[in-house]
Amino acid sequence: MPITAREIDLFQRRELPFAERCPIDMMDKFLRRRQPREFVERFKFIFRTARAENLQYFLGPDQKYFTRLFDLWFDLLARPGFQFADGDEELFLLGGNITNILAVTPHRNGDACIKKLVDQADNLAKLLHLYTPRSYLRMPVTPFFDANPILASLWYSSIWNWADCYVDEGVDDNCRYFLGNMDERFAPYDSNLIIGYFRCTYVDHIRDREVKRLFNRSIAEYISGTRIDNRPAPDSIAVVSAYWNGNHAVYRAFAPYVEELAKHYRLTLVDMRQPNARWPSDPSMFHRVCKIRASSEVIDVSAITNNDFQLAYFPDVGMSQESMYLSNLRIAPIQAMGTGHPVSSASKAMDYFISGGEVEAPGAKANYDERLVLLPGLSVHPVKPDFGHIPPPEGDAVVINCPWMHMKNNRRAALALRRILDRAERPLRFHFFPGCGASRNSSYMAFIQDYSTVLPISAFEILPDLEYSAYMQKLSEGSFTLHSYPFGGGTTAVDALVMGRPLVVLRGSHEYNRYSARLLERLRLEELIADDENSWVDLSTRLVNDREYLAAMQERVRTADLDQHLFKVENAGALRLAFDTLIRGHDEFKRDGSRAPIRIG
């Protein structure tokens, strides 16, 4: 029996609990009447609806409803005669919603059902649906690819979207295990590929390039039939970005450099903006715009198949599906990337990584597959928020702001927060700002549950997906801000400083955990920089317990000259000088085979 118009109407009535939209008695009846397809179609519709509504929490009737729904679902999956049909691959797309809602029921995961399925014939699709980052069981990955490389690749692409933070010990362990066991037979299936490519740095920043090389190899094979007819003109440069609009941090960070570049070169914007993007791209600095579009499975590069680019510049590799594909395609003789997402592409088609001489550590060349090019300064222009200073809160309680994008929330950092809490001599509460990642995929309740395994639930608040003004207003309630680690932040660091709040930074060996430390050094606030985890905890604990020290540091941040030391545009011509150098010397750089950074200015 197909889903009726009346049922669809009920599904779309947000004011109704799911227990009324799709009654559990009806689902039970489908199974008793041996109508599995009717059950599956409604099961998918339930989670499709949860995804569309961005379901964040459920209480009362729906708590029992989802528990019972999974009882029935596992009963169906365990039946030897049941198999998925065409169209059921949508379950992988919905896997994040399914996994996160399942996590906050008494089931927690599908392990009990997996145990029933292990010895069944033709069980691969069902096992892959149930085997998630929240599983307690550990299953070898190789047999999945032995059985069906295409289906296993779909699963491997999808699982990275089934967990939105890495605070839970099991999730953290499983994701590290999945990274370490990526099969060489992996092949791109759809746009979910970008999730694993992007997130591997947050799961394991030591092994991320090793994993990216495997992703890149599969992408290169996938696009091997694409032909680019490049006839380079010396004055032609392409800027390849999905985020070239005035409301995005990538644009605001690099616009002064590209604007200066446009005075000396003929620029083309290779525009990878999604059609449903909120803001249009800004074409004002460019001679022309070439639009690149990708569906879930196909990328259309016809707009640049014939081009005259001498150099292609990618400010934000890895932040869009299209950039991941194009960074593995040779569209120009010289290809360079920026620090929009400041990690190596690990692509053989990317020649140079443009970074800042002030930020990179000695020996930083070891962090990149590309040859490092060091501009004077930071390599990006810190963007001044349109928001004024708000005095810090009064009273005995201390609030620590943790403006950590959802993927930056990890087990190691959470355990460090627990150490700070245990040593606190004043009432202490953590405010987490994970952005949309704690509300999409129905993950809000699972996010809270994960943190509650480390911190008392009374000691923290999750504040997802706030509009910028609301975010800054809530940020003002904090006493100081704690930098995420190992992947730090740039924009969030500036937000804290503009707000007049001390920023405690744990400095590491990569650009992404050194940038904010350099901002503090520019402001003569070096004492807020820690170089190891114990110092990070000690410094934060001192700010919690020592009222006078906290007040003094708040005043020093408030009175720091941010306009002079952070927001003054410096070295705007450095990127142009870098490209002059690369265009002039690229052949020699290739011949000498050196890995030494190329310093500009």
| 328 plus 419 within the same structural domain | no
Count Cβ neighbours within 10 Å for each residue of 396-422 and write b for 16 or more, e otherwise. eebbbbbbbbbbbbbbebbebbebbbe
Mean local confidence (pLDDT), 21-30: 94
Q: Distance of CA 553 to CAs 425, 502, 557, Å?
A: 19, 6, 6
Mean of the pLDDT values across residues 305-315? 97
Q: Which two tokens stand for residue 268?
A: 């083309």
* Same domain assignment for residues 30 and 145: yes
**Residue that is last in its domain, among 222, 248, 281:** 222
Q: How many domains is the chain partitioned into structurally?
A: 3
Task: From 315, 329, 191, select the one nearest 261 (Cα to Cα).
Answer: 315
Q: Are residues 194 and 265 in the same domain?
A: no
| pLDDT attached to residue 61 | 83
Supply the pLDDT for residue 337.
97
Higher pLDDT, 318 or 541: 541
Domain limit, last residue, from 222, 257, 279: 222
Over residues 269-288, mean pLDDT:
90
pLDDT bin (cut points 50, 70, 90) of residue 275 is confident
Strand partners of residue 290: 270
Which of 163-177, 428-442, 547-561 has the weakest average pLDDT? 428-442
The arithmetic mean of pLDDT across residues 325-352, rounded, is 96
What 3 state SS string does 376-397 have? Answer: CCCCCCCCCCCCCCCCCCCCCC
149 and 288 fall within a common domain: no
- The reply to whether 284 and 196 lie within a common domain is no
Return the HEC string of 301-355: CHHHCEECCCEEEECCCCCCHHHHHHCCCCCCCEEEECCCCCCCCCCCCCCEEEE
Query: Does residue 268 sit in the same domain as residue 183?
Result: no
**At residue 288, does pLDDT exceed 90?**
yes
pLDDT value of residue 187: 87
Give the pLDDT score at 1: 65
User: Within this chain, do residues 582 and 552 fall inside the same structural domain, yes or no?
Assistant: no
Are residue 166 and residue 214 in the same domain, yes or no? yes
CA 341-347-351 angle, to 5 degrees, is 85
What is the rounded distance in angstroms from the CA atom of residue 307 to the CA atom of residue 268?
10
**Is residue 387, in this structure, part of any structural domain at all?**
no
Res. 326: pLDDT tops 80: yes
Output DSSP code: residue 410. Answer: B
Question: What is the mean predicted confidence (pLDDT) over 288-294?
Answer: 89
pLDDT tens-place string over residues 491-544 = 899 999 999 999 999 999 999 999 999 999 999 999 999 999 999 999 999 999
Strands 480-482 and 428-432: unpaired
Task: Give the residue-averaged pLDDT of 461-471.
Answer: 91
3-state secondary structure at position 289 = strand
Q: Which of 222, 255, 271 is the last residue of a domain?
A: 222
Q: Identify whether 391 is part of a domain.
A: no
Segments forming the whole domain that contains residue 47: 5-222
Res 163 pLDDT > 80? yes
| C-alpha dist (Å) from residue 272 to 29, 337, 345, 594 | 48, 15, 17, 33
Is 389 domain-assigned?
A: no
Confidence grade of residue 190 (pLDDT, cut at 50, 70, 90): low
User: What are the tens digits of pLDDT across the range 367-387?
Assistant: 999 999 999 999 888 888 888
| pLDDT average, residue stretch 283-300 | 85
Q: What is the pLDDT of residue 297?
A: 63
Q: How far apart are the first and last CA of the chain?
A: 71
Q: Stretch 557-570: mean pLDDT, rounded?
A: 92
Tell me the C-alpha distance between 538 and 516, whole Å. Answer: 19
429 token code pair: 């509460």
- pLDDT value for 584: 96
Structure tokens given for 567: 């927001």
* 582 and 556 in a common domain: no
Q: Which two tokens stand for residue 129?
A: 């649906």
Give the model's confidence band at 429: pLDDT under 50 very low, under 70 low, under 90 confident, else very high: very high
- How would you classify residue 170: left for phi > 0, otherwise alpha for psi between -120 and 50, otherwise beta? alpha
Q: What contacts 428, CB < 8 A, 6 or more positions away?
A: 397, 398, 399, 400, 420, 421, 459, 544
For residues 584 and 555, membership in a common domain is answered with: no
Are 41 and 22 spatial neighbours (Cβ–Cβ below 8 Å)? no
Are 173 and 268 in a shared domain?
A: no
As a whole number, the mean pLDDT across the chain is: 93
What average pLDDT score do residues 109-115 get? 98
392 inside domain: no
Asked if 108 and 167 sit in the same domain, the reply is yes
Q: Region 153-159: what's the mean pLDDT?
A: 93
pLDDT tens per residue across span 215-261: 999 888 888 889 999 999 999 999 999 999 988 889 988 999 999 99
Q: What is the pLDDT of residues 91-108, one digit of tens each?
A: 999 999 999 999 999 999
The answer to which of 5-14, 40-49, 501-510, 581-590 has the lowest mean pLDDT is 5-14
Query: Can you give the CATH number for the domain in which 425 is found?
Result: 3.40.50.2000
Of residues 274, 286, 288, 283, the one with CA closest to residue 245 = 283
Residue 295, pLDDT above cutoff 80? no
Q: Is residue 317 part of a domain?
A: yes
What are the structure tokens assigned to 211, written together? Answer: 């994993």
Q: Which two tokens stand for residue 395?
A: 């009273």
Q: For 297-306, 413-422, 496-505, which range has the lowest pLDDT when averaged over its residues? A: 297-306
